[in-house]
Amino acid sequence: MVQRRGYSEWVKLIEEFEKSASSLEDFSAKLGVKPTTLQFCFYKLRKQASRASRFLPVNVVASAAPKARQGATETVELALATGALLRFSVGTDVRYVAQIIAALG
Residue 17 is predicted with a pLDDT of 86
> pLDDT by residue (tens digit) across 18-74?
888 888 899 889 888 888 888 888 888 877 766 665 666 777 766 655 555 555 567
In this prediction the pTM is 0.43
Residue 1 is predicted with a pLDDT of 43
Instruction: Quickly list DSSP for the chain.
Output: -PPP--HHHHHHHHHHHHHS---HHHHHHHHTS-HHHHHHHHHHHHHHHHHHT----------S-HHHHTTSPPEEEEE-TTS-EEEEETT--HHHHHHHHHHH-
Residue 3 is predicted with a pLDDT of 62
> pLDDT by residue (tens digit) across 6-34?
888 888 888 888 888 888 899 889 888 88
